[in-house]
Amino acid sequence: MLFCSEVPLAKLLIWVLVIIAVLFVTRLITHKKNNVRPRTDHAPTPKGAEQMVRCAHCGIYLPRSEALMSNDHTWCSLDHAKLGPRN
Transcribe 46-73 into DSSP letters.
Answer: PPPP--EEE-TTT--EEEGGG-EEETTE
Using the predicted structure, report yes or no on whether residue 87 has a pLDDT greater than 80. no
Q: Percentage of the chain with pLDDT > 70?
A: 75
Q: Is the pLDDT at 46 greater than 70, yes or no?
A: no
Q: Tell me the CA distances in angstroms from 83 to 1, 56, 72, one per residue in order.
A: 98, 10, 15
Least confident of 5-14, 16-25, 31-40: 31-40
Enumerate the domain spans of the chain.
52-83
